[in-house]
Amino acid sequence: MSDRYGQPQIFIMNVDGSGVQRVTFDGVYNTSPVWSPTGDLIAFTSRIGSIFGIVVVNPDTLETRPLIGEAGNNEDPSWSPDGRFICFTSNRSGTYQIYMVDRDGRRETRVTSGPNDKTQPAWSKK
């Protein structure tokens, strides 16, 4: 959904469509929401200044916390099945590559390399 200015924002609602609640208020362009497996956080892509970063929000408290966003555009968050890590794409190296970060944003690892773009990571449940 969009805010009154037409910028995408993140909303949640009950399965029956009731109880619609906006959960993002910072940033002017918030997209690609994904729930953590435990349901306690939503990771999403947010435009922070002139770049895109990965942010998490607690849907109960609406507290947000940037995880990634200091270098390049960082997009396409995907939670690990156990909820400990998030994979995402970043173009900080010149091409889009896949990176992984722990849910606290402290430990980050580049997963792919090479000259071609790698985007839209997804975890296997097996």
Is residue 47 within 8 A of residue 29, CB to CB? The reply is yes
Q: Is the dihedral of CA 79, 103, 91, 35 positive or negative?
A: positive
Domains of the chain by residue range: 11-110
Q: What is the pLDDT of residues 60-115, one digit of tens each?
A: 999 999 998 778 999 999 999 999 999 999 999 999 999 999 999 999 999 999 99
pLDDT at 4: 60
The fold of the 11-110 domain, in CATH, is Neuraminidase (2.120.10)
3 pLDDT higher than 70: no
Q: What are phi and psi of 19, to 5 degrees?
A: 65, 35
Q: What is the pLDDT of residues 21-59, one digit of tens each?
A: 999 988 789 999 999 999 999 999 999 888 999 999 999
The strand pair at 42-48 and 85-90 is best described as: unpaired
Per-residue confidence band for 124, with pLDDT thresholds at 50, 70 and 90: confident
Type of residue at 35:
W
